[in-house]
Chain A
């Protein structure tokens, strides 16, 4: 087994291929030139579903499923075309024409079809289609199912704009679009206060929950605005200094050495701020847990597989900037390291199955951000882990949804237990995801997470201490991940049955289990397929470049073995505590650390203290100022303007003699001014 690990992970890292640089873009040909349809299909579907309204209720969900599936077919055709093309033709541009083109003024739109964007498109459309299928059954009792599908399609379209846009501007359009769709979907149940009769499998939401959903949606909205600020500032800096926002020009400027180090660092940090907002990274992580208030398929699609990984995409896409700004890149690694531990610690203490999974997502994205921050050796690894994570995490979220479906929408793991016997398919598919995220060979996670740990141990820039710190953090993270995921798995599926009498757990309908099975297959096999023979690294090489890998401070084999030992030990510990021993149905009193972790390490308290309370007072002060000063000024200005207007109107007497004398005076004034300036 260890030989398998070293040979495969070694191949991923070392690669037989020589170092190569990213290649330039060529005009799109063949299937790639139809890339616009990828976006149009779900966008048209969303528009139809929203415009037709109730008339589309009967068949709306079918159209909703068809759209991303059709996009997937197009994406697969494009992927096949790129696969068969030589490396220097794997970056293609689709010109969508220019909005304004006159002289120096040139606003241009286009799609970038390359191996990176196509990877994302495949992930988004494939996992997206599965989750759409799942949603048919999951949302079957919801009167607004059609609208739900419209939003899902809108999300898919926006996400595709985000990854396919060939400029930061288009990316930002998609960025805002997914934010909007996410906001709509998190808050989907916000206005349904006991509107429908409650029966088994129905998602009745009480007034309190509805309010919570609205608050959660708002929190996500606000956190994302802070991130967007970073994006806007970065775009402003780029436009002011490069004069363009398309990736081609920006990359050329960043690699060309025309931009100062400080500027590149500033742009990098602003892009990182944007990434932390969208990807729920420290310090903008607080919204993700609350966003779990939305329907579970939404959590699976948006908050596990796709949208939250947009930050990773942004950083990998901006690699030219980060490569030229080592300090910014170091901050990226530090943010990734902090978040991966943060998420892992929080995950250990959560009793809500979805929130525990959300913490895990946060932590896993921390791994990806860290890998992306490692630079050329990490870009491909980050994306590879992103893809496999998309499968196993989406699978587990759907599994959680299936559990909730069978458990009257309860999410409290202390009230689960022993469900494995009652929900065999959910159990098996969830187990595949669980083992994958643990990194047990030969499942996906092993092939994608282990290389990141290994890469973190590699000395860069001659800084040995960094290799040790980041390496050990990732190692520790892997161990904690193993503990909390095993805890989640055992509390849910093993041990004693702890639910109340009126609950009758049952397996979910086929429309729900089928997508889970497909995702489970991916969780098992995808990592190995991608990693073997460094297939995926080669595939991405036209975008990310490929690089000789440095030597880790420990032999790769040692790292793999230590990781596995820690992971298994942590899993066994979790088995001892949550499967063998009885789990209390209410959370017991615990040490301050656990208490803090249950409260997301006091993130809300910190936010309250740092932002909300000063913000509230600042707002109050502002309201006062507004009333006293601004309103005063505005009223004053309005009065002043009207007074000036009256004054300007006064010479308008209607008398020609007066008009003529004004003209004469004006002429004299102009002549005086000219002569005064000239002399």
Chain B
């Protein structure tokens, strides 16, 4: 006999932001089917931007209720919209908005960053036809919306099963998006496959951890697990193992050592606007989920998990910093920088202090803005061949030498993001670092804060390296070509000419964005400075709602 199914009552208000984004994603898929090709791009971009802005508005409407009542609990804990969830969703939406602008930008060369026909084998005739016809893979936008929706749910659920579903909803589109780069397609596809395989591996750990926790406590709800943790039953070993496995799944998503190894390869291979989006958005989502898991579900295991958090935080800071020092590719360099940043954020998480959530969220906002902005700039710094044709991104560090002279505005903006990464005062990055380290000290984790300060001092070194390279190049590597050739021809030696000539064929230039990316970069830059000088309002707002619903 089948028990009568009783439909649960759903309060749709708090769900509205997520529903708007996911619904728009579904509509986006339908647009692909029904809208003529030449209108698709405009329709998709408009829809995506409208959905993200609409979701932001919905969040803003929920703000005052969340602030006064502490938040909503939908579907008995499957979805929670409390202060930290709301702030994390808002940050994710801001990042998505800025990223979509960068993705939609086709620059002066009238090409976006995505392959015209992803299913075509690299180098095939089919690809050439797709390129000459000016086709575009506009599925990018619904995929981004799906990922955004997944990210929003990831940090806002009080239920392990929903957490897992959200993880997959946010991950699968990103695996796809990573493989869609217009140039260096093989590298991009390799990145996609690697990300997928390792992500699946991490998901396996994650679901295994959920199973163990379920076995130990008999429930999937955070609040009930928290109660079970507090009452000894003799299954603590199981529970602890499950907790570690769940954390490993989350460590993989934030790129913490030793689960970080996909990060440089994927960040390098993925289309640059996607790299910015996932570097910023995934971290926000995963840290929001991690905070909720640690502060709500596993609060009773705090002591036992501290050692895990400390070990991973220290290893992450050290590996990110040290490996970053020897990188020669700007995208890989920022990938290691993002690993180091994950370590800094982990110090705030490991504080297990009530200042922890608000400081971590502010840090993620600061980091996210600088990341989206920095990768947007990387996407417009291009190689130019001797014939004058602009091709792919100039990602080798040596190609950035002297950018401060040739393109001062772009270089100064990039400098600003680097300063924020390095945590120099008067940038948002400084306030974020200050906040997480002081949370760590407040929570008694001062050794972590100390290592964090030392590591950020060391990490500053590789940002400074880029700055020096841009503004004070040792020689004039790219611009010297025209001057050097007559000298070489005049008899300084044919050997020199032969050795250096091939390297000089390609020069570095900056393509002009068609406006959307400019807006995005400008917003990132302005917010980075504003949050650095007047962080008070935002910090205040975040810390006012920093309490989790039980």
Contact with B along A636-672 (1 / 0, CB 8 A): 0000011011101101101010111011011101110
Query: Which of A649, A652, A659, A678 contacts B240, CB < 8 Å?
Result: A678
B49 CB → nearest A CB, Å = 31
Contact between B325 and A642 (Cβ–Cβ < 8 Å)?
A: yes
Residue of B nearest to A667 (CB): B248
Residue of A nearest to B542 (CB): A102
**Binding stretch for chain A, among B6-14, B119-127, B198-206:** B198-206
A105-B435, A663-B261, A678-B304 are known contacts. Are A649 and B326 too (CB-CB below 8 A)? yes
Contact between B325 and A641 (Cβ–Cβ < 8 Å)?
A: yes
Contact between A648 and B252 (Cβ–Cβ < 8 Å)?
A: no
Q: Which residues of chain B have C-beta atoms less than 8 A from A648's C-beta?
A: 319, 322-323
Say whether B343 faces chain A, with CB atoms less than 8 Å apart: no
Residue of B nearest to A679 (CB): B237
Say whether B168 faces chain A, with CB atoms less than 8 Å apart: no
Contact between A102 and B261 (Cβ–Cβ < 8 Å)?
A: no
Query: Which of B252, B355, B458, B543 contacts A663, CB < 8 Å?
Result: B252
Bound CA–CA A221/B442 (angstroms): 38
Contact between B262 and A670 (Cβ–Cβ < 8 Å)?
A: no
Q: Which residues of chain B have C-beta atoms less than 8 A from A652's C-beta?
A: 261, 264-265, 323
Contact with B along A88-129 (1 / 0, CB 8 A): 000000000111111111000000000000000000000000
Q: Which residues of chain B have C-beta atoms less than 8 A from A665's C-beta?
A: 258
A651-B261, A663-B202 are known contacts. Are A102 and B307 too (CB-CB below 8 A)? no
Say whether A195 faces chain B, with CB atoms less than 8 Å apart: no
Contact between A101 and B355 (Cβ–Cβ < 8 Å)?
A: no
Contact between B244 and A100 (Cβ–Cβ < 8 Å)?
A: no
Residue of A nearest to B240 (CB): A674
Most buried by B among A100, A656, A669, A675: A656
Residue of A nearest to B241 (CB): A671
Query: Which of A100, A104, A659 contacts B261, CB < 8 Å?
Result: A659
Residue of A nearest to B362 (CB): A102
B248 CB → nearest A CB, Å = 5
Contact with B along A275-292 (1 / 0, CB 8 A): 000000000000000000
A663-B252, A665-B258, A670-B311 are known contacts. Are A100 and B201 too (CB-CB below 8 A)? no
Say whether A673 faces chain B, with CB atoms less than 8 Å apart: yes
Which B303-341 residues sit within 8 Å CB-CB of chain A?
Answer: 304-305, 307-308, 311-312, 319, 322-326
Residue of A nearest to B261 (CB): A659
Say whether A677 faces chain B, with CB atoms less than 8 Å apart: yes
Residue of A nearest to B359 (CB): A102
Q: Which residues of chain B have C-beta atoms less than 8 A from A102's C-beta?
A: 358, 435, 535-536, 539-540, 542-543
B105 CB → nearest A CB, Å = 30
Contact with A along B34-62 (1 / 0, CB 8 A): 00000000000000000000000000000
Bound CA–CA A651/B264 (angstroms): 12
Count residues of chain B with CB under 8 A from any CB of chain A. Answer: 49
Query: Which of B244, B542, B543 contacts A674, CB < 8 Å?
Result: B244
Contact between B194 and A99 (Cβ–Cβ < 8 Å)?
A: no
Contact between A101 and B540 (Cβ–Cβ < 8 Å)?
A: yes
Say whether B245 faces chain A, with CB atoms less than 8 Å apart: yes
Contact between A659 and B323 (Cβ–Cβ < 8 Å)?
A: no
Q: Which residues of chain B have C-beta atoms less than 8 A from A99's C-beta?
A: 534-536
Residue of B nearest to A666 (CB): B258
Which A189-241 residues sit within 8 Å CB-CB of chain B?
Answer: none
Most buried by A among B244, B261, B307: B261
Contact count A vs B, C-beta below 8 Å: 110
Interface residues on A, range: 35 or more
Most buried by A among B326, B539, B540: B326
A659 CB → nearest B CB, Å = 4
Contact between B304 and A656 (Cβ–Cβ < 8 Å)?
A: no
Bound CA–CA A533/B354 (angstroms): 58
A659-B261, A660-B198 are known contacts. Are A645 and B304 too (CB-CB below 8 A)? no
Contact between A98 and B197 (Cβ–Cβ < 8 Å)?
A: no
Residue of A nearest to B355 (CB): A103
Bound CA–CA A340/B454 (angstroms): 48
B262 CB → nearest A CB, Å = 6
Q: Which residues of chain B have C-beta atoms less than 8 A from A674's C-beta?
A: 240, 244, 304-305, 307-308
Contact between A104 and B442 (Cβ–Cβ < 8 Å)?
A: yes
Say whether B272 faces chain A, with CB atoms less than 8 Å apart: no
A100-B431, A103-B543 are known contacts. Are A663 and B198 too (CB-CB below 8 A)? yes
Say whether B472 faces chain A, with CB atoms less than 8 Å apart: no
Q: Which residues of chain B have C-beta atoms less than 8 A from A666's C-beta?
A: 248, 257-259
Say whether B438 faces chain A, with CB atoms less than 8 Å apart: yes
Bound CA–CA A645/B458 (angstroms): 12
Q: Which residues of chain B have C-beta atoms less than 8 A from A101's C-beta?
A: 536, 539-540
Q: Which residues of chain A have C-beta atoms less than 8 A from B248's C-beta?
A: 663, 666-667, 670
Bound CA–CA A572/B250 (angstroms): 90
Residue of A nearest to B458 (CB): A641
Q: Which residues of chain A have C-beta atoms less than 8 A from B323's C-beta?
A: 645, 648-649, 652
B233 CB → nearest A CB, Å = 16
Q: Which residues of chain A have C-beta atoms less than 8 A from B304's C-beta?
A: 674, 677-678
Which B218-275 residues sit within 8 Å CB-CB of chain A?
Answer: 237, 240-241, 244-245, 248, 252, 257-259, 261-262, 264-265
Bound CA–CA A596/B261 (angstroms): 73
Q: Which residues of chain A have C-beta atoms less than 8 A from B442's C-beta?
A: 104
Contact between A654 and B265 (Cβ–Cβ < 8 Å)?
A: yes
B66 CB → nearest A CB, Å = 18
Bound CA–CA A99/B434 (angstroms): 13
Contact between A100 and B535 (Cβ–Cβ < 8 Å)?
A: yes
Bound CA–CA A103/B348 (angstroms): 15
Bound CA–CA A678/B535 (angstroms): 41
Contact between A662 and B258 (Cβ–Cβ < 8 Å)?
A: yes
Bound CA–CA A677/B435 (angstroms): 29
Q: Which residues of chain B have C-beta atoms less than 8 A from A671's C-beta?
A: 241, 244
Residue of A nearest to B324 (CB): A645
Contact between A660 and B322 (Cβ–Cβ < 8 Å)?
A: no
B363 CB → nearest A CB, Å = 12
Query: Which of B198, B237, B241, B264 contacts A656, CB < 8 Å?
Result: B198
Q: Which residues of chain A have C-beta atoms less than 8 A from B264's C-beta?
A: 652
Bound CA–CA A388/B237 (angstroms): 79
Which B176-212 residues sit within 8 Å CB-CB of chain A?
Answer: 193-194, 197-198, 201-202, 205
Contact between B543 and A646 (Cβ–Cβ < 8 Å)?
A: no
A154 CB → nearest B CB, Å = 21
Contact between B245 and A667 (Cβ–Cβ < 8 Å)?
A: yes
Bound CA–CA A677/B257 (angstroms): 20
Q: Which residues of chain A have C-beta atoms less than 8 A from B197's C-beta?
A: 656, 660
B101 CB → nearest A CB, Å = 30
A104-B442, A105-B438, A656-B194 are known contacts. Are A98 and B536 too (CB-CB below 8 A)? yes
Bound CA–CA A662/B201 (angstroms): 12
Bound CA–CA A678/B540 (angstroms): 38
Bound CA–CA A665/B258 (angstroms): 9
Which B408-466 residues sit within 8 Å CB-CB of chain A?
Answer: 431, 434-435, 438, 442, 458
Q: Which residues of chain A have C-beta atoms less than 8 A from B205's C-beta?
A: 663, 667
Bound CA–CA A652/B435 (angstroms): 32
Can you name 9 A-B residue pairings with CB atoms under 8 Å?
A99-B535, A103-B543, A652-B265, A656-B198, A659-B261, A662-B258, A663-B252, A666-B258, A675-B240
Q: Which 4 A-B pairs have the closest CB atoms?
A: A666-B258, A645-B326, A102-B539, A659-B261
Interface contacts beyond A641-B458, A670-B244: sample of 12 additional A-B pairs, CB < 8 Å, sorted by A = A99-B536, A100-B434, A645-B326, A646-B326, A652-B264, A663-B205, A666-B257, A670-B248, A671-B241, A674-B240, A674-B304, A677-B304
Give chain B's interface residues, CB within 8 Å of chain A: 193-194, 197-198, 201-202, 205, 237, 240-241, 244-245, 248, 252, 257-259, 261-262, 264-265, 304-305, 307-308, 311-312, 319, 322-326, 354-355, 358, 431, 434-435, 438, 442, 458, 534-536, 539-540, 542-543
